[in-house]
Structure 1
Amino acid sequence: MADYFLVLNPYADRWGADKTWPRLEAVLKARQVDYEVVRTEEPGHGIALAYEAARSGRYRAIVAVGGDGTVNEVANGLCRAATNGTTLPMGIFPVGSGNDLAEVLRIPRDLEGMVEHLLQDRRRLLDAGLVQSPGLSGVNQGGRYFVNNCGIGFEAQVSLESRRISRCRGFLIYLVAVFRALYRYVQPYVRVRWDGKAREGRMLLITVGNGRRTGGGFWLTPFAEVDDGQLDVGFAKALSRPGILRLLPKAIKGEHIYDPAILLDRFRRMVVQTDVPVPIHTDGEPITAGVQEIEVQVLPGKVWVVADPDVPLLDVFQGHGPSSEQFLFSQQETHRSSR
């Protein structure tokens, strides 16, 4: 019986994880880490692997070896296997392209550091989100968990487009995907209700954050806390193509929060209805190309992650930013945006 079960996504970072594995394996052996490793073979495979490993009761922790998508699959397997409300601990070896959750939790990126971090076995209890829709099918039927971010609309369309790009790597993939999404995405009319509040109108996107950063460097929900029992949400009203291109760079520094097109808040449960089907992603993984009824809720204290609870979360404002209370939707006010 091994101490750790590693779920390796060789395709993470466009096969970069597969190339990194021999060096990571050498570090594990040098540190005499007792582990088993299995490579994922197709989307969703990591969910089944993590589920079976967790249910076996043979391991101290299940480790995601890849990017945020691999973390999402392992987290889903652990959440589905949990019988006492919380999961078996999840370790993270961030060898993908984005690694947003690992960055915010300050998990080391160097191979020696990430192995040492795992062996220290400091644990942090994170909230999780659950997105459900009658239109979800297959492995997502019944709902999909996320631990960092969920995107509805344009953000998810960019994620879909990026999966169709095979000849680029890194940030260039994102740029190409954005331009494709600009010409393929139809901004829907949306009705949304959350914790007694409501809003409707044409929207570019709805982004939900348990973590602060997504997309490999976009601080869409910069005030989010991973363990506050709530999910942060950002609404972006419908914009022209030039308006979208002006807004996106602001999110790299968290400065989009000052834009009048953006509304921020927090919630425990949110219901979204749209006039046309819209895509959804969870932790960067597209889970549907189009649904019209969506429910998102927080599951407080759901996922144990091997991360130091005493280390502050990474902050785009470096401790000198504005108060989140300046930007949250008024408790008493209900907005109705124009078509």
Structure 2
Amino acid sequence: MIKLNYLTKYLIVINPISGSGKAKKYINQIDSFFLSRRLEYKIILTEYHGHAIKIVQDYEDYYDVIICAGGDGTVNEIVNGFNFNLDKTFAVLPIGSGNDYASNLNLAKEINSLLEQILNPNGKFIYSDVISIRFKENNIWKEKLSLNAVGIGFDAYVAYLNQHNKRISGIISYIFAVFKGLKNLKAINFKLHIDKREVQGNFVVVTIGNGKTSGGGFYLNPRASINDEILNITTIDKVTKLKLLKELPKALINKLDKVKEASFYEGNSIRIEFDEPYFVHSDGEILGTEVNEMEIKLYNHKLKTIVG
């Protein structure tokens, strides 16, 4: 593991509504931590959806370490603002509703301990892979980046429901969304081109993972690793609502491989066609509700990220 040189200028991007607003209570603590150590830093609170993208684009030239204080949605925005040619360092304070990307980093649980981990000149880092996404919605092609996972089908529909109900947070919020989403469970005909291999099927879920978990702790891509230069793909065949409800808890305890309807693949690039437009998410954030074609590839070892 590579050792991190001591970095002196810190940009902390805080999403104050992360974790159903619980992130607000950490603002003063973070500020006091940096102030007491006489470090050069700047704290900026996001004010609207997509704001973190602009913040990073406006300030990353000057600051050495970009710290995300929020959940997976804020992580997703920050990576979409990065200029990877600048080789800045990324760190996460996981204080959001879902912290799936951070769960891959072996971080300290307590905020001050984690901040010390970030400042420690002997701290460690990895170069995380980054997912590149091209997707077509209403005959218009768009592009986005993802750090943790891309989901199509039931997984994305649940993410949509979860995103529009933030009265509760974390895995409980996601489970409520699962029960609500079961009312409209549907399978879609997919054609996946994974490198030179073709996979076809009638699936309720297709998920492409850089990280292992989605939805705050569901192991939907249990074989994934964020720096192994491989995309992990999971498909789940058409099942009844009762069957899905019975089998889905296995993903919480990393036993999805015991579900006979689940299949696992690996690749570097994927082209996906589906026979009707549907929901797609990236890191829990909805990319579109009527997407019908996608092209996904992996940028290897792209983002320098602090780990524990």
Which whole-Å CA distance do the structure 1 matches of 2:210 and 2:88 have between them? 19
Work out the percentage of aligned pairs sharing the same amino acid.
Answer: 27
Distance 1:183 1:12, change over 3 A: same
The residue number in structure 1 matching 2:85 is 83
Task: Report the equivalent of 1:173.
Answer: 173
Which stretch shifts more, 39-48 or 178-187? 178-187
12-21 or 162-171: bigger deviation: 162-171
Contact 1:7 1:65 in 2 (8 A): yes
Q: Distance in 1 between matches of 2:171 and 2:221?
A: 20
- SS of the counterpart of 1:281? strand
Q: Distance in 2 between matches of 1:167 and 1:76?
A: 27
Displacement after TM superposition at 1:213 (Å): 1.8
Q: 1:171 to 1:223 in 2, by over 3 A?
A: closer
Number of aligned pairs? 299
Deviation of the 1:136 alpha carbon: 8.1
Mapped partners of 2:134, 2:295: distance in 1:
5
**Range that drifts further, 288-297 or 21-30:** 21-30
Aligned AA (2:56): A
The 1-side partners of 2:139 and 2:287 are apart by 9
Query: Counterparts of 1:154 and 1:221 in 2: how far apart (Å)?
Result: 15
In structure 1, the residue matched to 2:5 is: none
Q: What residue is the counterpart of 1:234 in the other structure?
A: 234
* 1:72–1:147 Cα contact (<8 Å) kept: yes
2:21 corresponding residue in structure 1: 15
Q: Secondary structure at the match of 2:253?
A: coil
Please show how residues 105-116 of structure 1 align to structure 2 within 5 Å: 105-116=105-116
- 1:31 Cα offset (Å): 3.0
SS in 2 for 1:176: helix
Q: How much does 1:166 deviate?
A: 4.2
Note the aligned Cα RMSD (angstroms). 1.9
Displacement after TM superposition at 1:263 (Å): 0.5
CA contact (8 A) 1:27 1:111 kept: no
State the 1:264 CA deviation: 0.6
Question: Is structure 2 residue 286 aligned with structure 1 residue 282?
Answer: no
Secondary structure at the counterpart of residue 13 of structure 1: coil
Q: Deviations over 1:58-106 (max 9, x none)?
A: 111111110111111111111xx2336xx42111111112212222211
Q: d(CA) in 2 for partners of 1:47 and 1:167?
A: 25
- Of the structure 1 ranges 29-38 and 194-203, higher mean CA displacement relative to structure 2 is found in 29-38
Query: Structure 2 counterpart of 1:82, which letter?
Result: F
TM-score (norm 1): 0.83
Displacement of 1:175: 2.2
Q: Determine the structure 2 residue equivalent to 1:245.
A: 245
The corresponding residue for 1:143 is: 143
Q: Select 2:74's aligned residue among 62, 70, 83.
A: 70
Show the counterpart of 1:52.
58
Deviation at 1:22, TM superposition (A): 1.8
1:5 partnered with 2:11: yes
Equivalent position SS for 1:14? coil
For 1:74, the aligned partner's letter is I
What do residues 186-224 of structure 1 show as CA deviations (whole Å, max 9, x unaligned)? Answer: 321111110111111210111111111221111111221
Distance of 1:77 and 1:118 partners within structure 2: 21
Within 2, Cα distance between the matches of 1:263 and 1:16?
37
CA contact (8 A) 1:53 1:62 kept: no
Q: Secondary structure at the match of 1:46?
A: helix
- What amino acid is the match of 2:128? L
Question: Do the aligned residues in 2 keep the contact of 1:136 with 1:288 (CA within 8 Å)?
Answer: no
Moved more, 159-168 or 105-114: 159-168
- Structure 2's unaligned 5+ residue stretches are 1-7
Provide the rounded CA distance (Å) in 2 between the counterparts of 1:99 and 1:136: 31
- Corresponding position of 2:33: 27
In 2: Cα distance, 1:13 partner to 1:123 partner? 26
Q: How far does residue 251 in structure 1 lie from its aligned partner after superposition?
A: 0.3
Hey, what's the Cα distance between the residues in 2 that align with 1:136 and 1:114? 43
CA distance in 1, matches of 2:138, 2:51: 17
**1:330 maps to what in 2?**
none
1: CA distance between counterparts of 2:30 and 2:85? 32
The answer (yes or no) to whether the contact 2:105–2:306 under 8 Å persists in 1 is no
Structure 1: gaps (5+ residues): 309-339
8 A Cα contact 1:48 1:77, kept in partner: yes
